[in-house]
Structure formats: structure tokens, C-alpha cells
Amino acid sequence: MADDTSKPRICINHVAGRYLVYDVNDIAYLRTTWHMCGTLFGTLPQAQQQNIFLGLPLELMQEEARLLVDQRVAMIVDDSLAHRDAIKALSETDKADILAVKIQEQDKLMLANREESMKKKEAAIENAKASGKWKTKPAKAPGASTSRTEEGSLFASASDTIVDGGGGEELASTGQRTSPEDGSRQYIIPMASSAIGPHHLRLPQEPNHAPNPPEARYQVYKHLQSLGYFMSPGLRFGCQYVAYPGDPLRFHSHFLVKSLRWDEELSILDLVGGGRLGTGVKKAWMISGLEQPDKEADESEVQDVRTFCIEWAGFG
């Protein structure tokens, strides 16, 4: 694909050996233009089925990250160094603004959770009344104390207060909220360095070193990607890539791809097992690699990629 210089470079964060993309617009661009789907592995705090509701960030394979850097579409940013330098560059006013926004987000989430809990409680009461299982508690004598358990410890009382995240000097310096004069209870949210996330920081726009996957494997990926195939990790099928003729949301995969060096040995058991596995899951097993290097050719000359497809005959 041609180098798209009209679009700013995508920032790929290098975190603990993984190459991550956080911007949803960049992810959409990579999928539609560069046929890169990646792997979502972000989790949602309140989702029970984490394997279904995975979200940002998106992890790219080393081959995908290197291709984007080679094509000058993206740059690699060392996340730990960039995060540290960006935090040092923030002024106290910037930090206070970020923490105030963070508190506002937490307040909204708390209010939403409280409303949902109250709705569930009211629905449970209505169901109990409809089924005749609802029992009214006897009235207490005047002056008798009422425990928090009886009032419903899971639900905040009417005197509980959520303070606007506007902050103030004390909020900015300590992250705590003082009790108001009327004595109502307020929430205290401790401030930690993790409160400032990647989306709050202005990361330096300077490229870093690209990943360095094995050359034969990278050339095979680059060759198939140039033909329009979508590639995803193939670990669950015992291969390196699973190749799709179009977007995986619309098409079934066609090939289980395994790259080899020219002089790399391949046992007959691997050959038979790969062919049987590919045919068993309605795919072809593809062996691919660089052609034998020509001793007289220039070292800078790019070698061609050769592919072979194996299907197991006799399956019913």
C-alpha cells in the first residue's frame, strides 16, 4: 500500500513488549485501510463475560507494527519513558484539572450505580408484594435508634453528598474532600499517580526503533498483506497466522500460515499434522518462506516469497 503522508502518524505505545493502540479512530483506520484487526484485550469492570466484551486497547503483532513503521504510517513510543517525561512536564494546574475531571467521572459512575441499585430494590419490593411475600415491619417506638443495616447499608442516605469535581486548592493538593458544615457524609477518593492515564498526556511525537521479528516471517506477512489478506494470530490453530480473504467479520479464514526459512527442516509428522488440521477446520495449510538466496545477487535485493498449500485428501 502507498504511504499516506496526508494523515498524521499513528502512535503505537510499546508497553512491556506489547504494541498497543488506544485511539479508536486509529483502530478504524488500520482495519479499513491496512487490513489490520489486531486483538482487543481491555476489560470492562462490570462485565461478567470478559471474553466477550473486550475493548481498548488493541494489541498489534510485531509484524504489523513494523510494517506500519516501515511505511511511515505509525511511530513507536516507549510508553514508560514517555509517560514519565510527560508527567514531569505537567504543571500543577494541569494536574489539578485532570484530577478534577477524574473525580467528576467517578461521581457520575457512583450516581448511576446508586440509581440502578434503587431500581432493582424497588422492583424486588414490587415483586414481593405481588406474590404476597412482602411483610411490613412493625413501627418503632418514638426515639428508638435505627441501624444502618435496617435502613439499607447498600444505599446512601439522603444526606450523603457528592461534591462537584471543581476541586479547589485542598482538592488539588490532597485529593480529599472536607466535611461540610451541615455534617452530611461525603466521599473521599484518594489520588494516585494512576489517575493520570495515557489519554491525558501529550506524548512526544518522535519515532522509536521498530520491532524486529524474524525476517522470513515478516516477509511472508508483508507478502500476504499486500495481496489484501487480513491476518490474525494463529496460536489456537498451531500456526503463525490465520489468513482471511476479507474482513474477519464477513469472511471465513482460508489459510493456516506457517513461515519457514529456506534451509529449515520440516518433519513428515508436521507436514501430515498440519495438512490434517487445516482440512479438519475447513482451511488449507500454507507453508511459505523466502526463496533460496542467489549468491551472485546484491544483498540489498529483496527475495521473493514462495507459498505452498497442503490439503488432506480423503476426508468425508
Instruction: Check 19, 83, 244, 254 and give the catalytic one.
Output: 244
The catalytic position among 252, 254, 258, 295 is 252
Report yes or no: 38 and 64 within 8 Å, Cβ to Cβ.
Answer: yes
Has 29 been annotated as catalytic? Answer: no
Catalytic-residue membership of 252:
yes
247 closest CA partner among 2, 21, 22, 36: 36
Indicate which residue of 14, 35, 254, 283 is catalytic: 283
Sign of the alpha-carbon dihedral angle for 99, 100, 103, 109: negative
Active site residue 258: no
Catalytic machinery residues: 244, 252, 283
